[in-house]
């Protein structure tokens, strides 16, 4: 190693120190999805990053998605995927696939990657220990001048009614890393497919997390010129939504972040999961790697 390389390495390590001290003993909830879950190199680097956070005293809790994997298996069995306003319509057969993919294939692969990297991960669904109590999601169509609003039936798509964090807290106290699939259970025992961003935001609020990180397939919130925006607050978000800068699939992510902050989470970030080590860059460096949303 040259002197220049050694100095650069030392600078990176010392830059991370105050952030490690700041987040030591604190919980960080990370929604893991998108390309970061499908690229082999990114999957392995993500697992190592999570183990590093745990090793230095930070408590990561992972909530993962798995939309592409669900869609692939549905294609294989000849079942068409149907979406309404970005939500997957989930009948009984589709729910069986969702549970198989999220609670089985994807969840256990993430757990295995973290364990292979030297961590101790435990996979959960919201059904374990009644972690996520859910109810059927009520969605209404937008009213027009000629037609009133109507109820949209998405099938077994749910919303979070309550989170019982005891099992996650127990795992954290025993130095395990919880990896959670966003499947909830109703009072009648019915399983529900829940949006992973929503579960991550609710989980962060209940666990009194210091940070919420939402990994996406974009750099973050972009202005109309395509430049990254950061350091946003509630008023900024309202203005950017009103003028159309924030729209489409970014709206629910932003709302999830705002709800978490309103519930007591210190800050939330929307970051690009396609960037190697995005989680470490966002948490442990001066510049960060996405859109930071503050109180």
pLDDT in tens, 127-169: 999 999 999 988 776 666 666 667 788 889 999 999 999 999 9
Residues 6+ apart with CB under 8 A from 23: 57, 58, 210, 211, 283
Average pLDDT value for the chain: 89
R_g over Cα of the chain:
19
- Quick check: helix, strand or coil at residue 253? helix
The answer to which of 9-13, 93-97, 275-279 has the lowest mean pLDDT is 9-13
At residue 35 the predicted structure's pLDDT band, cuts being 50, 70 and 90, is low
Residues 6+ apart with CB under 8 A from 53: 28, 59, 60, 279, 280, 283
Q: What is the DSSP string of 149-218?
A: --EE--BSBEEEEEE-THHHHHHHHTT-EEEEE-EEE-TTS-EEE--HHHHHHHHHHHTT-SEEEEEESS
| Cα–Cα distance for residue pair 267/183, rounded to 1 Å | 25
Residue 18: CB atoms within 10 Å: 11
pLDDT at 40 over 80: yes
The answer to which of 32-36, 42-46, 97-101, 283-287 has the lowest mean pLDDT is 32-36
pLDDT in tens, 226-275: 888 888 888 888 888 888 888 777 888 888 899 999 999 999 999 998 88
Q: List the one residue out of 208, 239, 203 whose CA is nearest residue 223.
A: 239
Cα 134 versus chain centre, distance? 18
Q: Domain extents for the chain?
A: 23-144+157-294
| Cα–Cα distance for residue pair 2/124, rounded to 1 Å | 46
User: How many DSSP H helices and E strands does the chain contain?
Assistant: 10, 15
pLDDT value of position 218: 84
Contact call for residues 173 and 25 (beta carbons, < 8 A): no
pLDDT at 87 over 70: yes
What's the rounded mean pLDDT across residues 177-186?
Answer: 96
pLDDT in tens, 202-228: 999 999 999 999 998 888 888 888 888
pTM, two decimals, is 0.91
For 23-144+157-294, which CATH class?
alpha beta
pLDDT value of position 144: 63
b/e per residue 219-256 (b: at least 16 CB within 10 A): bbbeeeeeeebbebeeebbeebeeeebbeeebebbbbb
pLDDT value of position 146: 66
pLDDT at 175 over 90: yes
Sign of CA dihedral 25, 26, 29, 35: negative
pLDDT value of position 152: 80
Give the sheet arrangement for strand 158-163, strand by strand: 158-163, 132-136, 183-185, 191-193
H or E segment to which residue 133 belongs: strand 132-136
At residue 105 the predicted structure's pLDDT band, cuts being 50, 70 and 90, is very high
Residues 6+ apart with CB under 8 A from 179: 62, 64, 107, 110, 111, 114, 121, 122, 123, 124
């Amino acid at each position: 190693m040259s002197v220049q390389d050694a100095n650069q390495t030392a600078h990176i390590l010392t830059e991370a120190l105050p952030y490690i001290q700041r987040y030591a003993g604190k919980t960080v909830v990370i929604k893991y999805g998108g390309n970061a879950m499908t690229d082999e190199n990114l999957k392995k680097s993500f697992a190592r990053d999570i183990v590093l956070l745990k090793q230095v005293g930070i408590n990561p809790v992972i909530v993962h998605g798995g939309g592409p994997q669900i869609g692939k298996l549905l294609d294989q069995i000849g079942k068409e995927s149907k979406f309404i306003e970005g939500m997957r319509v989930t009948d009984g057969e589709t729910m069986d696939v969702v549970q198989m993919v999220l609670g089985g294939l994807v969840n256990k692969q993430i757990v295995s990657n973290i364990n292979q990297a030297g961590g101790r991960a435990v996979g959960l669904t919201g059904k374990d220990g009644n972690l996520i109590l859910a109810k059927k999601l009520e969605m209404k169509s937008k009213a027009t001048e000629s037609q009133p609003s109507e109820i949209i039936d998405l099938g077994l798509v749910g919303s979070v009614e309550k989170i019982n964090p005891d099992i996650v807290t127990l795992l954290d106290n025993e130095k395990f890393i919880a990896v959670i699939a966003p499947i909830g259970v109703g009072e009648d025992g019915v399983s529900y497919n829940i949006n992973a961003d929503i579960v991550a935001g609710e989980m962060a609020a209940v666990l009194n997390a210091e940070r919420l990180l939402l990994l996406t397939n974009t750099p973050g919130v972009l202005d109309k010129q395509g430049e990254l925006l950061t350091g946003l607050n509630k008023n900024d978000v309202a203005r950017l939504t009103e003028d159309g800068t924030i729209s489409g699939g970014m709206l629910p992510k932003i709302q999830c972040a705002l709800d978490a902050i309103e519930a007591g989470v210190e800050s939330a970030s929307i970051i690009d999961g396609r960037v190697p080590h995005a989680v470490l860059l966002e948490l442990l460096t001066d510049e960060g790697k996405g859109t930071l949303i503050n109180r």
